[in-house]
Amino acid sequence: MFQLRPLDAAVPIFQQLQEEQAPVILVNIFQVAEADIPALLEAWTSDANWMKQQPGYISTQLHRGIAGSTVLMNYAVWESVAHFRAAFDHPEFKAALAQYPSSAVASPHLFTRLTVPNLCVGP
């Protein structure tokens, strides 16, 4: 199973899960040993297919750093924190976390879109 390291130590994912906000974007940064990337991809694919079936799920996209990087980033859109929390806390999802390689470090964090005039459209 992977290790969990907050992306923001002042506001870890477990604190964010207590909020009621909609919609939200999950960004999860994975750092993993090169040899374990296939195992991480297999575990992530299984989780993503399970999450895809959960209420409130909208979409996901996995990215990998270039130039030999072993950092991967998952970007997932959810209708609300409540929907994500229900999936994240589900016993079936928690049991599946054991499939991730032990070299993996995950840093999940929830975000909301911002409005910046002439650049970004918020919620």
Tens of pLDDT, residue by residue over 46-80, are 999 999 999 999 999 999 999 999 999 999 999 99
Displacement of CA 55 from its chain's centroid (Å): 16
Tell me how many degrees the CA angle 9-7-24 measures, rounded to the nearest 5: 110
Say what the pLDDT of residue 122 is: 78
For residues 26 and 57, is the Cβ–Cβ distance under 8 A? no
Q: Quick one: fold of 3-111? A: Alpha-Beta Plaits (3.30.70)
Distances from the Cα of 91 to the Cαs of 30, 86, 88, 102, in angstroms?
A: 22, 10, 8, 20
State the pLDDT at residue 1: 77
Q: In percent, how much of the chain has pLDDT > 70? A: 100
Q: What would the mean pLDDT of 100-110 be, rounded to a whole number?
A: 97
What is the pLDDT, as a whole number, of residue 51?
A: 97
Please state the domain extents for the chain: 3-111
Stretch 7-12: mean pLDDT, rounded?
A: 97
For residue 120, what is the DSSP state?
Answer: B
